[in-house]
Amino acid sequence: MLFVGINPGLRSAQTGHHFAGYSNRFWKLLFDSKLVPGPIDWRDDDRLPEWGFGVTNLVARETAGIDTLSREECMAGIEVLRAKVRRFNPEIVAFVGVSLYRWIYGYKGAVALGPQRVMFEGADVFVLPNPSGRNANFSYAEMLAAFRKLRRRLRTR
């Protein structure tokens, strides 16, 4: 399975690790949902393949927020992501953020967290909430429920 974030924040760029922001809950959600067997943090991102996971971003350029990303670099990022998914052939692509899913598919309406009815380069698509502390759209309980749903989805494969 491949987790796809939007782009690295400033702290992630500084540390060279995914989801490294001080208020980012990605790693805690992985453990609390039992997707990984023990507590881990951003320094452990190279261990994700141990559990069958990969992680990448749509855009490689770091920013303080997504509002400075251009449409052109996002569109270019989609093509790079398509090539990565074709190369590594994950069963599931988990878009970490509703906004990311909307960008990829040009979707304007409400997006439910969880499995989607579309495919991405032959992979099933799953939408997770953005775990950044800047994201106030979902409570921790709602985020955890989505990550647990992903765990159940992986167990049925």
pLDDT in tens, 90-129: 999 999 999 999 989 999 989 999 999 999 999 999 999 9
What domains, with CATH codes, occur in the chain? 2-155 (3.40.470.10)
**Confidence (pLDDT) at 65:** 73
pLDDT in tens, 33-54: 999 999 999 999 999 999 999 9
**Confidence (pLDDT) at 88:** 96
Contact 6, 127 (CB under 8 A): no
Separation between Cα atoms, residue 86 and residue 90, nearest integer Å: 8
Separation between Cα atoms, residue 48 and residue 26, nearest integer Å: 12
Asked whether residue 67 carries a pLDDT value surpassing 80, the answer given is no
**Alpha helices (H) along 18-139:** 26-32, 71-88, 98-105
Asked whether residue 62 carries a pLDDT value surpassing 70, the answer given is no
Distances 14 to 17, 28, 115 between C-alpha atoms, Å? 8, 21, 33
Percent of the chain with pLDDT over 70: 96
Contact 147, 29 (CB under 8 A): yes
**Confidence (pLDDT) at 13:** 81
